[in-house]
């Protein structure tokens, strides 16, 4: 399936800040129709066209070499075919396509470093291609992941701080040139660029704003919101009684020399030309004009200030490229497997033996815990707040539902509820139930709807107590599997679970691969856990081990802190897959309140949870991905093998 990567291509006309005017020959009008035309004429599997101010790019999937044919058709669409240079078009292939798209989405290839408009342009491109049915599994996977990577990078680094759009940088340039707040400023163009310029000027205290546009309908909101004082039609600019001190050109139009006569006689006028190609080409030597090239050069100081962020961003991108390739291959394999079966009945029949083992395992897990004094509970699956929010974006993994006209959420876990019950006097409890996560990087161990075995008990102060309980549970499960002839005797979990610290794990990874060092504070994730599983198996002769003392930066607010920045937490890895995550819980009200705020949540919505800590008592627990464990111990391909009706982004019927 990795051969699928060689089908992935990108043809890019990407211009630097110094030659933006040359992008015009490559602009594709009606690009959605052109993508469909390319797909139909050249039998492309998939096609998406992405357009920005400094680039036009065609992403496509094809097993046939059609690069030259695409460029020929592209040139025919150009309104300036004489200036269209095929040699200016760069061809990315395979993995390089994904790296390039991710760097583009993060603003690393924009005129202004960290440009925050790119993520929206990527979203619009994939949305349009999905509607037009020109995008399939491969391009949907990489474009959707590009958006996620962009959000993650911007939330985790300073790449998006400061003036990260040409509009904001241009206004910043103007301010640095000591333009007084009472200056008369004319903005030519009321599209998205002109609108943003007006808003940024207004934010910075400039009120004497006049906007000119071909029609006035686009200026109505700016007038209503009192962002500009006056709106005029383009052909009325020459009649302005009060001459502008500053002019922002913000349209795709190249003005004739006669249309720029209104500039004559205005002393010390400053012109910021945001057009691509440049609006003021015909008078570029007559006035003090700052075009996108000079604006881009001005923004370079941002790059110097954010050099460390660029390095971190590229490291994060490299990790996500690998995850995206795995996700893409996994989706293609699942699609091929579904097509292998002639009827759904055949598929269901093939899964029956696995479902029987799963049923028996759930029974053993329940019986083991009940025999140990645990009570089975059922907590809400529809909630009003995120129940296990991530640090960077509390809403990024959540599905919402309409609940009597209100937006409610499908739970990510029962974390908050099981803690409330433990604090309310229930000493030992468990729940075997569903949870939902909008997985953007599907892997063999991920589904959008899955089941977890959540365990919580009061009076726990040491991680060893939780790991010991887990060992008993896994022993009973594997003993039953052995007795049923599903596994060999040496797979029974009889011994104490091997334990290493997060720092130990980091050292093992970096010793194994010193050229690709993993930084402290990285959440290992799918690829690194798989690699770590192999290292530990070779070194300690075990497939099952726990990692303890994770940094507080990568654990949730309800996890108890230990010395320095360490936490009383643990994950358990089995054959390279994380199957358990657990911790001693934080019980200090003020620390919990602080953690909730730092996660970016509205703490008032979590008062129902915080109230349970008025009379706190020690407690802890874990969640066992019981199906993940079964997949690995039974040598199955993926979680889908244990579900009759698996749910993912693409698996929605039946």
**What is the pLDDT, as a whole number, of residue 46?**
94
The domain spans of the chain are 2-160+305-327, 166-298, 352-494+619-654, 497-585
Which CATH number is 2-160+305-327's, of 2.40.400.10, 3.30.460.30, 2.60.40.740, 1.10.3210.10?
3.30.460.30
Residue 555 has pLDDT above 50, yes or no: yes
Q: Quote the CATH superfamily of domain 352-494+619-654.
A: Bira Bifunctional Protein; Domain 2 (3.30.930.10)
In this prediction, residues 567-573 reach a mean pLDDT of 94
136 vs 397 pLDDT, higher one: 136
Reported as a single tens digit per residue, the pLDDT across 525-543 is 878 899 999 999 999 999 9
In this prediction, residues 633-637 reach a mean pLDDT of 91
Question: Does the active-site annotation cover 53?
Answer: yes
**Residue 194 annotated in ligand binding:** yes
**Sheet containing 544-548, strands listed edge to edge, beginning at the edge strand earlier in sequence:** 375-376, 428-436, 449-458, 619-624, 577-584, 569-574, 544-548, 498-501
**Residue 121 annotated in ligand binding:** yes
Reported as a single tens digit per residue, the pLDDT across 378-423 is 999 999 988 887 644 444 568 889 999 999 999 999 999 999 999 9
Contact at 8 Å (CB) between 106 and 149?
A: yes
**Residue 191 annotated in ligand binding:** yes
**Residue 611 annotated in ligand binding:** no
In terms of Cβ atoms closer than 10 Å to its own Cβ (0-12, 13-18, 19+), residue 295 is buried
Residue 18 has pLDDT above 60, yes or no: no
Query: Token pair for residue 116?
Result: 């925050």
Q: How confident is the model at residue 19 (pLDDT cuts 50, 70, 90)?
A: very low
**Residue 115 annotated in ligand binding:** yes
Pairing of strands 406-410, 8-14: unpaired
CA-closest candidate to residue 420, choices 587, 557, 580, 590: 587
DSSP 388: S
443 vs 20 pLDDT, higher one: 443
CA-closest candidate to residue 649, choices 443, 473, 395: 443
575 vs 392 pLDDT, higher one: 575
Secondary structure, 3-state, 31-74:
HHHHHHHHHHHHCCCEEEEEEECCEEEEEEECCCCCHHHHHHHH
CA-closest candidate to residue 84, choices 18, 11, 33, 34: 11
User: How many Cβ atoms from other residues are within 10 Å of residue 462's Cβ?
Assistant: 12
Question: Which of the residues 53, 55, 106, 623 is marked catalytic?
Answer: 53
Per the omega criterion (within 30 degrees of 0), is the bond before 277 cis?
yes
pLDDT > 70: percent of the chain: 90
Contact at 8 Å (CB) between 187 and 250?
A: yes
**What is the pLDDT, as a whole number, of residue 281?**
65
Residue 296 has pLDDT above 50, yes or no: yes
Burial 618-644 (b: 16+ CB within 10 A, else e): ebbbbbbbbbbbbbbbbebebbbbbbe
In this prediction, residues 106-128 reach a mean pLDDT of 80
Query: Token pair for residue 445?
Result: 């161990």
**What is the pLDDT, as a whole number, of residue 142?**
92
Residue 307 sits at the vertex; the CA angle it makes with 305 and 313, to the nearest 5 degrees, is 130
**What is the pLDDT, as a whole number, of residue 393?**
44
**Residue 114 annotated in ligand binding:** no
Pairing of strands 577-584, 569-574: antiparallel
Residue 90 parent element (H or E): strand 90-93
Reported as a single tens digit per residue, the pLDDT across 36-82 is 999 999 999 999 999 876 788 999 999 999 999 999 999 998 878 78
Report the alpha-carbon distance of residue 250 to residue 167 in Å, rounded. 9
**Residue 110 annotated in ligand binding:** yes
Which CATH number is 166-298's, of 1.10.274.10, 3.40.50.720, 3.40.50.620, 3.40.50.300?
3.40.50.720
């Amino acid at each position: 399936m990795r051969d699928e990567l060689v089908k992935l291509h990108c043809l890019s006309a990407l211009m630097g800040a110094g030659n933006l005017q040359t992008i015009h020959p490559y602009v594709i009008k009606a690009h959605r129709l052109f993508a469909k035309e390319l797909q139909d004429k050249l039998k492309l599997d998939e096609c998406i066209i992405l357009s920005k101010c400094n680039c036009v790019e065609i992403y496509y999937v094809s097993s046939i070499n059609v690069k030259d044919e695409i460029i020929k058709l592209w040139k025919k669409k150009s309104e300036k075919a004489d200036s269209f240079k095929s040699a200016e078009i760069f061809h990315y292939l395979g993995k390089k396509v994904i790296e390039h798209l991710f760097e583009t989405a993060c603003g690393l290839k924009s005129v202004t470093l960290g440009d925050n408009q790119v993520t929206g342009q990527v979203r619009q491109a994939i949305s349009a291609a999905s509607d037009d049915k020109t995008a399939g599994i491969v391009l949907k996977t990489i474009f959707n992941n590009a958006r996620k990577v962009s959000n993650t990078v911007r939330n985790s680094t300073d790449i998006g701080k400061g003036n990260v759009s040409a509009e904001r940088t241009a206004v910043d340039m103007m301010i640095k040139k000591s333009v007084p707040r009472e200056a008369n400023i004319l903005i030519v163009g009321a599209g998205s660029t002109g609108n943003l310029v007006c808003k940024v000027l207004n934010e910075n205290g400039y009120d004497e704003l006049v906007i000119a546009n071909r029609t006035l309908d686009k200026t109505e909101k700016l007038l209503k919101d009192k962002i500009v004082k006056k709106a005029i039609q383009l052909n009325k600019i020459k009649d302005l009684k009060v001459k502008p001190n500053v002019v922002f050109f913000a349209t795709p139009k190249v003005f004739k020399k006669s249309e720029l006569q209104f500039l004559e006689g205005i002393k010390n006028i400053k012109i910021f030309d945001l057009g691509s190609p440049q609006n003021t080409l015909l008078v570029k030597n007559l006035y003090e004009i700052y075009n996108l090239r000079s604006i881009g050069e001005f923004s370079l100081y941002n790059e110097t200030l954010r050099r460390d962020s660029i390095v971190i961003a590229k490291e994060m991108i490299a990790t996500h490229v690998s995850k995206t390739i795995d996700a893409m291959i996994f989706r293609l394999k699942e699609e091929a497997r579904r097509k292998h079966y002639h009827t759904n009945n055949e598929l269901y029949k093939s899964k029956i033996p696995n479902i029987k083992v799963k049923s028996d395992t759930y029974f053993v897990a329940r019986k083991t815990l009940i025999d140990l004094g645990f009570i089975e509970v059922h907590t809400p699956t529809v909630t009003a707040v995120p129940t296990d929010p991530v640090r960077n974006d509390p809403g990024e993994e959540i599905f919402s539902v309409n609940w009597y006209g209100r937006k409610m959420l499908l739970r990510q876990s029962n974390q908050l509820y099981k803690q409330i019950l433990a604090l309310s006097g229930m000493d030992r409890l468990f729940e075997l139930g569903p949870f939902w996560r909008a997985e953007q990087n599907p892997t063999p161990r991920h589904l959008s709807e899955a089941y977890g075995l959540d365990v919580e008990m009061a009076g726990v102060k040491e991680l060893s107590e939780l790991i010991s309980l887990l060992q008993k549970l896994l022993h009973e499960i594997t003993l039953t599997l052995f007795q049923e002839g599903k596994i060999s005797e040496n797979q029974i979990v009889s011994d104490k679970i091997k334990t290493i610290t997060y720092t130990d794990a980091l050292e093992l990874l970096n010793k194994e691969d010193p050229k690709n060092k993993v930084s402290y504070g990285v959440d290992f994730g799918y690829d690194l856990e798989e690699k770590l599983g192999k290292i530990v198996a070779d070194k300690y002769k075990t497939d099952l081990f726990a990692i303890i003392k994770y940094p507080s930066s990568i654990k949730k607010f309800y996890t108890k802190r230990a010395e320095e920045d360490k936490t009383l937490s643990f994950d358990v890895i089995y054959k390279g897959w994380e199957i358990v995550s657990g911790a001693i819980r934080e019980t200090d009200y003020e620390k919990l309140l602080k953690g909730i705020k730092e996660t970016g949540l509205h703490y008032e919505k979590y008062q129902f949870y915080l109230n349970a800590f008025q009379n706190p008592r020690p407690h802890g627990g874990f969640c066992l991905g019981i199906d993940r464990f079964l997949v690995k111990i039974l040598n199955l391909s993926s979680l889908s093998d244990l579900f009759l009706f698996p749910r993912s982004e693409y698996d929605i019927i039946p």
